[in-house]
Structure 1
């Protein structure tokens, strides 16, 4: 953080540490009312997720632009935006660059309305996330997600899924997991949606069907070889909207935030937030 403060020396900046005692909504409203127009999320995907949800509470005309300085364990969405991990280089993007419109995804359900920027991962993916204690994250770094999957792979739960993807219906699908991706990677730079782009007005839907041990081997090896979407157990679609329900109800993680209630509908919000991106980002 000291390195970031050094980069911002000479610029008027307000610093806010995201603790449980902080009213982020009130702080950002005060910031905007005082003329603030640029929010920097200095942290990991969880920090980015918090900031995105807060910014989406503003009307589009007053919504601040956003930058990411990747300081977290995985920094998946920063990777999709090709933001350098070096603080000085990340800062140079928003000090000298120009923001571009980036999509986010809105979810709805009974008692739920949230937004996310990277990946919603449902089904057995949630069980992996719940394996990740702070100690495991500290010891394994980005590889902690692989470490967390070891126990889950031996006991995969099946979900019977009904889905409607931009009008196309799927009924009674036995599935292991559903990924609704705005970004390319999840869980420590694992490429789950290689064709995803957060600037195309669509998200990528990946449904992993239930199967046996060899199906699991094919999926894992396909991911390692960059042919994940070609696996027989994978259903892939690009879409703007999906409605789904499952038995048992499928929980999701939204960029690390576990949603205990079942989301019913996902819909893309095109060009929702202007963000500063890396030089290799392709719109």
Structure 2
């Protein structure tokens, strides 16, 4: 089974960034103790009115740099993020690639067309949702970006992703 690597830190499942990771990282511990998982929902509902997209540049092999105003990014070594949400539908933890899905700020001004693109994120002519696969890539951001590596919070403005092929032996 492959392992994903971001800035030297390993993850097995998904690295997610942007709004969701920010909600997770900024939900106060005392509220999490009292409300459990509902604390994240509550904090997300409060923060949704303050969503500030990140200005990012995605550097992929064999492609021109892609400048996006991003609300959310998911880098999947496997298809599902915490809670069973499918964030990388084509991800395979044995294909020696990471799957990158970027949700742009169009979700704030054009929610209908953006949600339609989310139904088929790999469609090449999408303008609001981008999906790529690569063994390595880089992301630069104009501000510190909240990232969750399999649930562990990280804050960074430059992200280097790569894959370690067949690094784990499993019964997968």
Identify the TM-score tier after normalising by the shorter chain. 0.7 to 0.9
**Cα distance change, pair 218–129 in 1 and its aligned pair in 2 (3 A):** farther
**1:143-222, aligned counterparts within 5 Å?**
146-211=41-106, 213-219=108-114
SS of the counterpart of 1:275?
coil
Q: Report the equivalent of 1:116.
A: 11
* Cα displacement string for residues 71-105 of structure 1 (whole angstroms, at most 9, x for unaligned residues): xxxxxxxxxxxxxxxxxxxxxxxxxxxxxxx0111
When the two structures are aligned, how many residues end up with a matched partner?
Answer: 165
Aligned to 1:134: 33
Whole-angstrom CA distance in 1 between matches of 2:97 and 2:3: 9
Pairing of 1:65-80 with structure 2 (within 5 A): none
More helix by share: 1
Consecutive unaligned residues of structure 1, counting only runs of 5 or more, are 1-101, 278-283
Residue pair 1:252, 1:262 contacting (<8 A) in 2 also: no
Per-residue displacement from partner, 1:170-215 (whole Å, max 9, x unpaired)?
A: 3432111221111111131111111111111111001111125353
What is the CA–CA distance in structure 1 between the aligned matches of 2:95 and 2:115, rounded to whole Å? 28
User: 4+ runs of 1 displaced by more than 4 Å?
Assistant: 144-148, 217-223
Instruction: Tell me if the contact between 1:219 and 1:228 (Cα under 8 Å) persists in the aligned partners.
Output: no
Equivalent in the alignment of 2:2:
103
Pick aligned residue for 2:132 from 237, 254, 272: 237
* Normalised TM-score (structure 1): 0.52
Taking CA–CA contacts closer than 8 Å with sequence separation of 6 or more, which of the two structures ends up with the larger relative contact order?
Answer: 2
Tell me the distance in 1 between the aligned counterparts of 2:107 and 2:161. Answer: 29
Q: Which moved more, 1:249-258 or 1:170-179?
A: 170-179
Q: Do 2:5 and 2:161's aligned partners in 1 also have CA atoms closer than 8 Å?
A: yes
Q: Give yes or no for contact 1:107–1:263 (8 Å, CA) kept in 2.
A: no
TM-score with structure 2 length normalisation?
0.82
1:124 positional shift: 1.4
CA contact (8 A) 2:3 2:167 kept: yes
1:208 is paired with a residue whose SS is: strand
How many Å separate the matches in 2 of 1:269 and 1:163? Answer: 20
Q: Aligned-pair RMSD on alpha carbons?
A: 2.4
